Amino acid sequence: MTSLDYAQMFRLDGRHAVVVGCGGIGSEIAAGLAAQGARVTCLDKDLAAAEQTRASLPHSQTREHTAYPVDVLDPAPLGRLAEELGDVDVLVLTAAVNVRKRLLDYTAEEFDRVVSLNLRATFDVVRAFAPRMVKRGSGSVVALTSIRAVTVEPGQGVYAATKAGVMQLVRTWAAELGPAGVRVNAVAPGVVETPLTQQIRDDEAWGRAYAEKSALGRWARPEEMVGAVCWLASDAASFVTGSQVMVDGGWTAVDGRFTPPFS
């Protein structure tokens, strides 16, 4: 007989989940984790955004959900907060930035800004939270990458490089932390309807081309990212680590190309 309770394997009751980046998709992920029974801590540089997400979450049966401001680019206070929060069962990283420019037009400052938040901060956040998971012998880390980790277009080079880099960190962490019982995976969204993609959707040709690129012929909604994250966080994915789950409507399975405008 299996030791896994199929009726409960997606549940997160009694577990502490930390979501880093609580706007847009991060807010929906926090809601999904809470709905599965997790106690959620919302972390964001914008405390108002973190508090707004926390206030919207369904009540936890263990302890109250919490929210804290955190600058993931400042590792010292990040480390102190990780210690203050204590044991964390699930860590989800969503914070990222993109500067849409051709590589030859990039400035050094823009390059550093994208690499610092998308790649270095991912490294620092996991470095802050993973040691307690290792010591305890369990934990699930889920990083949001992107379809740009595997396929690019003009103007997305630096962002794509950081997302591919995050995936290589995920694979390495999976190898290094797996013996301690810690799983590390990624969810790669396709094009999602968020405020950050409004510029694209405001351009009719660009928005339509993105919609038609996927096998499903449309943009994703933020809540459609939640299921994959909750699955990876749960016992249902107990033998899944080092993987990148594509939640892209078939984008990376279908051929096609569109060169977007840059101004």
pLDDT tens digits along 195-224 = 878 888 999 999 998 998 899 999 999 999
Catalytic residue among 6, 68, 106, 159: 159
Q: Environment class of residue 187 by beta-carbon count within 10 Å: exposed (0-12), middle (13-18) or buried (19+)?
A: buried
SS3 194: coil
What pLDDT, on the 0 to 100 scale, is given for residue 180? 98
Whether residue 104 is predicted with pLDDT greater than 60 in this model: the reply is yes
**Nearest-angstrom CA–CA distance, 84 and 76:** 13
Whether residue 244 is predicted with pLDDT greater than 70 in this model: the reply is yes
**Nearest-angstrom CA–CA distance, 236 and 184:** 14
Q: Look at the domain 16-190+223-245 and name its fold.
A: Rossmann fold (3.40.50)
CA-CA distances (angstroms) from residue 232 to 13, 38, 43, 157? 15, 14, 20, 28
What pLDDT, on the 0 to 100 scale, is given for residue 92? 98
Whether residue 59 is predicted with pLDDT greater than 80 in this model: the reply is no
Q: How confident is the model at residue 55 (pLDDT cuts 50, 70, 90)?
A: very high
Average per-residue pLDDT for the chain: 94
Q: How confident is the model at residue 256 (pLDDT cuts 50, 70, 90)?
A: low
What pLDDT, on the 0 to 100 scale, is given for residue 1? 54
Whether residue 128 is predicted with pLDDT greater than 60 in this model: the reply is yes
Q: What does residue 189 show for φ and ψ, rounded to 5 degrees? A: -70, 155
Q: Which residues lie below 8 Å from residue 199, measured CB to CB, with a gap of 6+?
A: none
- Catalytic residue status for 159: yes
When pLDDT is averaged across residues 43-67 and rounded to a whole number, the result is: 89
What pLDDT, on the 0 to 100 scale, is given for residue 257? 61
H or E segment and range at residue 108: helix 108-115
For residue 200, what are its two tokens?
């694209």
SS3 115: helix
CA-CA distances (angstroms) from residue 4 to 71, 102, 114, 234, 239? 38, 49, 41, 11, 12
Q: How confident is the model at residue 61 (pLDDT cuts 50, 70, 90)?
A: low
Q: pTM of the prediction?
A: 0.94
When pLDDT is averaged across residues 27-52 and rounded to a whole number, the result is: 96
Query: Running DSSP on this structure, what letter comes out for residue 219?
Result: P
Whether residue 259 is predicted with pLDDT greater than 70 in this model: the reply is no
H or E segment and range at residue 164: helix 157-177
Domain ranges of the chain: 16-190+223-245
Summarised one tens digit per residue, pLDDT across range 138-195 is: 999 999 999 999 999 899 999 999 999 999 999 999 999 999 999 999 999 999 998 8
Higher pLDDT, 256 or 134: 134
For residue 41, what are its two tokens?
């801590």
